[in-house]
Amino acid sequence: MTPRQQLVACRDCDLINTINPHAYGERFQCTRCGSLLRHNKINSIERSLALVTAGLILFLVACSYPILSLKVVGAATSNTLITGVIDLYHYGLKDCSLMVFFMTILIPFVKFAMIFYILTSLRWNLYLPKRLLIFRVYHIIDTWGMLEVYMLAIIVAMVKLTDFATVSIGIGLYAFIACMVISFSISATLDPHLIWERLEANP
């Protein structure tokens, strides 16, 4: 084993593999089960930071403007991200409303904010407090952000309603679609191993 190499245990099958953590742009897979061990992404911090900045701004837009609006003779209604949560709460489904709030508003927003905090501090070498804790919480809540599922729900709801009334798309929906795309892109550009290592060196 040369000094540039490092031992890692596969997350899925526990086999010890040797990788080179500094190989630029390289992907390493477990030799037994094929799981991705590590992917050294190119310009990870800069790219992710650009995306997350856009994401934060667009998320505020997505929250404040109507997503869909409905028109039937004389009557018109519209919804934003939060109105669904409030209405579920008023109809007595408090558990459901809380879940929808967490999965579609709070967690996606907190995820953007956390990544923004960590990446800004790494990019400009600012020693901001609690970075390791924040990145750990980010990993724990990661699976519970469900922007893409909500997106599909919007499409299904739209198609369902076209029979009854005219449905039109609001600014909120465009911003929401952008947020979803950005959130996917961040998971493609973010390199958690790099961040862990940088944070460990300067906690």
Partner 1 sequence: MNRRRLTAKEASLVSCHLCGKLFRDTPAPKRVKRRCTRCGATLHSRKPESLARTWALVITGLILYIPANLYPIMTVTQMGRGTPDTILSGIVALFNSGLWSIGVIVFTASILIPVLKLVVMVLLLLSVHFRWRWPRRQRTLVYKIVEYIGKWSMLDIFMISILVALVKLGFLLNITPNKGASAFAAVVIVTMFAAMSFDTRLIWDRKNYHE
Q: Does 95 bind partner 1 (CB under 8 A)?
A: yes
Tell me the longest C-alpha to C-alpha distance in the chain.
76
Write the single-letter amino acid at 89. Y
Could you tell me which stretch among 5-13, 108-116, 119-127, 174-182 binds partner 1 (CB under 8 A)? Answer: 5-13
Q: How far is the CB of 50 from partner 1 (least distance, A)?
A: 25
C-alpha 52/C-alpha 183 separation (Å) is 8
Residue 4 or 139: the one with the smaller Cβ distance to partner 1 is: 139
Site for partner 1 in 24-83 (CB under 8 A): 31-35, 67-70, 72, 75, 77-79, 83
Q: Does 169 bind partner 1 (CB under 8 A)?
A: no
Residue 25 has a CB neighbour count (10 Å cut-off) of 9
Q: Does 13 bind partner 1 (CB under 8 A)?
A: yes
Residue 129 or 200: the one with the smaller Cβ distance to partner 1 is: 200
Could you tell me which stretch among 57-65, 106-114, 128-136, 181-189 binds partner 1 (CB under 8 A)? Answer: 128-136
What end-to-end distance do the CA atoms of the chain give, in Å? 28
Residue 55 or 172: the one with the smaller Cβ distance to partner 1 is: 172
Beta carbons within 8 Å of 68's beta carbon, 6+ residues apart: 78, 79, 154, 157, 158, 167, 168, 169, 170, 173
How many residues in the shown chain lie near partner 1 by CB under 8 A? 64
C-alpha 40/C-alpha 44 separation (Å) is 8
CA 154 to chain centre: 18
Write the single-letter amino acid at 176. F
Single out the residue of 55, 23, 53, 54 nearest to residue 41, CA to CA.
23
Single out the residue of 68, 63, 99 nearest to residue 179, CA to CA.
63
Q: Work out which of 42, 159, 171, 188 binds partner 1, going by CB under 8 A.
A: 159
Could you tell me which stretch among 45-53, 54-62, 115-123, 160-168 binds partner 1 (CB under 8 A)? Answer: 160-168
Q: Which residues bind partner 1 (CB under 8 A)?
A: 7-9, 11-16, 31-35, 67-70, 72, 75, 77-79, 83-88, 91, 93, 95-97, 99-100, 103-104, 132-133, 135-136, 139-140, 143, 146, 149-150, 152-154, 156-157, 159-161, 163-165, 192-193, 196, 199-200
